[in-house]
Chains A and B, each alone.
Chain A
Amino acid sequence: MTEPVLSVRDLRVWYGTDRGPVRAVDGVTFDVRPGETLGLVGESGCGKSTLGRGVLGLTPAAAAVDGEVVLRSPGGAGRNLVGLPAKEIQRLRGPELGLIFQEPMTRLNPLMRISQHFEEALRAHEKGLSKQEIRTRALDALRGMGIPESRYRSYPHEFSGGMRQRIMIALALVLRPAFIVADEPTTALDVLVEAQIIKILADLRKNFDTSLVLITHNLGIVAEACDRVAVMYAGHIVEQGDAREVFANPQHPYTRELLRSTISLSTTGLHFIPGSPPDLVEPPQGCRFHPRCPVAMRGCATVEPPEVVLPTGVVSACWQQAIEVEPSLVDELGPDGREPLAAVKEISVADEA
């Protein structure tokens, strides 16, 4: 198997607040291989965006970060981005790390032509390019996104939302990064345009050898565009593995509930997960999902579940699988630890997101 472009090990990103640290990302481990798309899903407030930013070294000054984010350039040795000075990371951003934001309208300077955006991006990271080279590179990238040459000197406001998002992608791609984080790239877009952008993202891994972390709350998009999926809940990755496998046979109760509560064309009954993701200042003891989990056991409320590597390669952090795989672990749950947890039903609108 090829070496991963990005290896994240035990990454933690905590924010300081008046009430105490918010454990937005709390010990996350995953790999992204060349040309692979990893979908990062979960409800709002589970730390998806923070993780995306943490990987790119874009966390605010008030955040404490530890763990490892190792980025390997093709053929080169890996380097840990955590603890790297801001200037160093800034230099890597663009040629090695790319970011596609949620709202393309706000990320393009309204006073600059599209051409100027490209000139600025290329000049900042690849010194010594001639004007002609810049133009060729930019037009190549734009053409890949279906933007005709005649629009090269237009201003951002002359484009529709979908076009702007394509421009953002082209801007990220023009520096040929090995690795891109796309944070909810289609949230503000219409269905058809969303589908077009998803198609572009799905084609990325075929046409370029770009690896992508796609952050989204839309499971349909993950199914459509991702090779692998990581499900995030309350700062943890609770399940990750091959997208087909996870969707066909979800292991963690949270993944199952998430899939069931998605409204799709095949929806025949409404289903939802009671309550909302926990306050990450004081996350629940034991498994963080236990207060909302339909199959929680008493032991789940006290002991944190181990990560279970299943034969399919899927990793799930749930006691149900843990005791299945390693029956001796039952003792850790304590006496009557396997009894169903009754408290789950008592969640009201008061806790709703």
Chain B
Amino acid sequence: MATTTLPTGPIEPTVSAAASRFGGLRRIVSAIREARGVPKFMLWTGAAISALFVITAVFAPLIAPYSFDTYRSGGHNFPKQGSPDGTHWFGTTVQSLDVLSRTIYGARTALEVMVLAVIFSLILGVLLGLLAGYFGGWLDRILVLVMDALFAFPYLLLAIVAGFVFSGISGGGVVTAALSITVVYIPQYFRVVRASALSAREATFVEAARAMGAKPSVVIRKYLFGNVIQSVPVITTMNAADAIGTLAGLGFLGLGIQPTEAAEWGYDLDRAIDDVNAGMWWTCLYPGLAMVIAILGFTLLGEGLNDVLNPTMRRRRISKVLLPAHTRRRTVTAPALPDVPEGEAAK
């Protein structure tokens, strides 16, 4: 019966759409500014470590003395399994590679995979969560079922399986590693976003949008998205930390990035196992340490954000009030006479 000839084409808003869509982020910023105590410490320490990690990764070619696959320089091969010294601060590996350079380049790889994985899972998870939460019904049932099934797998196993599948398609590079990790994280975004979309869908402002004649796509983009997205930054930072670990796990099992493609901490750790027995501590210590610090940084950042943004954890600051001396009001008593028409006098 729904027949109409009136045009109801999509209308793309242009004015300050970005400002409004990310209006929710404004609250995040102000919450961060108000943070105090332990959450503040966690937040800023985490942010500092994470920033250090990102800088190292981005400027790796400038910081590292050699490239990750350089084994000779100035016509000389590097020493094999050389202990740390003036030229190779962190020593060299059995393949004559410079440990310092590989550790620094490892940060680059980790960052690339992390960013890609988070972006992929963010886009897919948020989109699917919004759709499932807003439309409900069969779409929601099926998506929830699939996501729960994914959740049920041990995450490393899932990543390994996904790694096998994707390596057949896109080779053994950064993108494959990122995609394998993405599969693990999509359900997390999906769950959180679907839950907040479900509650936002019941909000009066969503109904008001419907009453205005907005189409579902418009409602989702303009009314749900901005309100749902606020729960995402916390998971994103937590996932970032986790992604580094998962990538290393894959690398350690030899399933991650091929050693010829990039330097990877997990792979280096795997190669260093034999060295430990031989008393060589440097090949495993530095990549391992780098990994721990990077994960610690993002975890602190995530936990700090969670404490600051989660209203149930937030506490209002109390400032003590000192009451100044009280001056009692004077009292004027009217003589007990009848017919006092002061009520009229005021008019």
Complex A–B touching at CB under 8 A? yes
Task: Give the interface of A toward B (CB within 8 A).
Answer: 10, 12, 14-18, 21, 27, 61-64, 66-67, 249-251, 253, 256, 295, 304, 306-311, 317-318, 320-322, 324-326, 329
Given A62-B318, A66-B323, A66-B326, check contact A306 B346 (CB 8 Å): no
Cross-chain contact B329 with A306 (CB below 8 angstroms) = yes
- Whether, in the assembled complex, B338 has its beta carbon less than 8 Å from a beta carbon of chain A, the answer is yes
Q: Could you say which residues of chain B place their CB within 8 Å of the CB of A307?
A: 329-332
User: Total A-B residue pairs with C-beta atoms closer than 8 Å?
Assistant: 86
A317 vs B328: C-alpha distance in the bound complex, in angstroms?
13
Q: Could you say which residues of chain B place their CB within 8 Å of the CB of A308?
A: 331-334
Cross-chain contact B342 with A310 (CB below 8 angstroms) = yes
A152 vs B321: C-alpha distance in the bound complex, in angstroms?
46
Q: Among the listed A61, A309, A317, A320, which residue makes an inter-chain contact with B318, where contact means beta carbons less than 8 Å apart? A: A61
- Whether, in the assembled complex, B317 has its beta carbon less than 8 Å from a beta carbon of chain A, the answer is yes
- Whether, in the assembled complex, B319 has its beta carbon less than 8 Å from a beta carbon of chain A, the answer is yes
Q: Count contacts on B: residues with CB < 8 A to the other chain.
A: 26
Which residue of A is nearest B333, CB measured?
A309
- Whether, in the assembled complex, B76 has its beta carbon less than 8 Å from a beta carbon of chain A, the answer is no
Given A311-B335, A326-B332, check contact A12 B323 (CB 8 Å): yes
Cross-chain contact A67 with B329 (CB below 8 angstroms) = no
Cross-chain contact B321 with A325 (CB below 8 angstroms) = no
Cross-chain contact A311 with B336 (CB below 8 angstroms) = yes
Cross-chain contact A310 with B330 (CB below 8 angstroms) = no
- Whether, in the assembled complex, B340 has its beta carbon less than 8 Å from a beta carbon of chain A, the answer is yes
Q: Could you say which residues of chain A place their CB within 8 Å of the CB of B62?
A: none
Q: Could you say which residues of chain A place their CB within 8 Å of the CB of B335?
A: 311, 325
Given A311-B334, A325-B334, check contact A14 B342 (CB 8 Å): no
Given A310-B334, A329-B332, check contact A320 B342 (CB 8 Å): yes
Q: Could you say which residues of chain B place their CB within 8 Å of the CB of A14?
A: 321, 323
- Whether, in the assembled complex, B337 has its beta carbon less than 8 Å from a beta carbon of chain A, the answer is yes
A27 vs B346: C-alpha distance in the bound complex, in angstroms?
26
Please classify the interface of chain B as helix (H, G, I), strand (E, B), loop, or mixed, using the class held by over half of its residues. Answer: loop
B289-347 residues at the A interface, CB under 8 angstroms: 316-323, 326, 328-338, 340, 342-343, 345-347
Q: Could you say which residues of chain A place their CB within 8 Å of the CB of B345?
A: 320, 324
Q: Could you say which residues of chain B place their CB within 8 Å of the CB of A62?
A: 316, 318-321
Cross-chain contact B329 with A309 (CB below 8 angstroms) = no
Q: Could you say which residues of chain B place their CB within 8 Å of the CB of A15?
A: 321
Q: Could you say which residues of chain B place their CB within 8 Å of the CB of A12?
A: 323, 326
Q: Among the listed B317, B321, B343, which residue makes an inter-chain contact with A251, where contact means beta carbons less than 8 Å apart? A: B343
10 closest residue pairs by CB, A with B: A16-B319, A64-B321, A306-B330, A62-B318, A324-B342, A309-B333, A16-B321, A325-B334, A21-B321, A320-B346
Cross-chain contact A10 with B317 (CB below 8 angstroms) = no
A249 vs B341: C-alpha distance in the bound complex, in angstroms?
10
Q: Could you say which residues of chain A place their CB within 8 Å of the CB of B333?
A: 308-309, 325
Cross-chain contact B340 with A310 (CB below 8 angstroms) = yes
Cross-chain contact B326 with A324 (CB below 8 angstroms) = no
Q: How far is the CB of A144 from chain B (nearest CB, A)?
A: 39
Q: How far is the CB of B280 from chain A (nearest CB, A)?
A: 57
- 11 more CB-based (< 8 A) A-B contacts, given A16-B320, A321-B334: A14-B323, A15-B321, A16-B321, A17-B319, A18-B319, A27-B328, A62-B321, A64-B323, A251-B343, A308-B334, A317-B329
Q: Could you say which residues of chain B place their CB within 8 Å of the CB of A249?
A: 343
Cross-chain contact B317 with A18 (CB below 8 angstroms) = yes
Q: How far is the CB of A106 from chain B (nearest CB, A)?
A: 17
Q: How far is the CB of B3 from chain A (nearest CB, A)?
A: 42
A326 vs B330: C-alpha distance in the bound complex, in angstroms?
12
B156-173 residues at the A interface, CB under 8 angstroms: none
A343 vs B340: C-alpha distance in the bound complex, in angstroms?
30
Which residue of A is nearest B319, CB measured?
A16
Q: Among the listed B317, B321, B322, B343, which residue makes an inter-chain contact with A250, where contact means beta carbons less than 8 Å apart? A: B343
